[in-house]
Amino acid sequence: MRKLYLRSLQILALLASLGSMSNWAVADEVLSGEQIKKLFPGSHSLEIFGFDIRILATKGGAVSVSLDEETDHGRWTVKGNQLCLSLKKLTDNKTGCSQVQYDGKTRLRVQGITFSVR
C-alpha cells in the first residue's frame, strides 16, 4: 500500500510541477492571482487511484499533502495568475506553477487535477 501511495503522490507532484496547460476539458473560470490567494487557503481533497489525498493550505503559505499517516510539507505562493507549489519530498523542493480554474461552487482544477473545496 505504501508503494502505491508514494506512486500516487509522485504522479500528483509531476502534474503539479508541469507548466500551465493551454487546453482544459472544462470551461471553468481561470482565476486571477488575487482570486487564488482568497480561495486556495483551506482544506482540499482529491482522489488518485482510489486514494483520498488531503491538502491543507494556510494563509501564510504553508501547505501539507497527506494520505493516512504519510504527510509531505512545503510552501505555496502565487506568481502572476498562477498557483505555485513546492513540496519537500514530492517535488524535491522544486517549485511548479499552474493556472487554476474554479467552477464557482465546489471544484478547483490545477493541471487537470480536480480538487474539492471545503
- What is the pLDDT at residue 11? 53
Is a pLDDT exceeding 90 seen at residue 76?
yes
Residue ranges of domains in the chain, CATH in brackets: 2-117 (2.40.128)
- What is the pLDDT at residue 111? 65
What are 14-27's pLDDT values in tens digits?
445 433 333 334 45
What mean pLDDT do residues 53-64 have? 92
Question: Given pLDDT bands bounded at 50, 70 and 90, which one contains residue 69?
Answer: confident
Number of other residues whose CB lies within 10 A of the CB of residue 59: 10
- What is the pLDDT at residue 18? 38
Number of other residues whose CB lies within 10 A of the CB of residue 42: 13
Buried b (16+ CB within 10 A) or exposed e, 72-105: bebbbbbeebbbbbbbebbbeeebbbbbbbbeee
Q: Which of 117, 40, 18, 36 is nearest to 79 (CA)?
A: 36
What are 40-58's pLDDT values in tens digits?
898 888 777 777 888 899 9
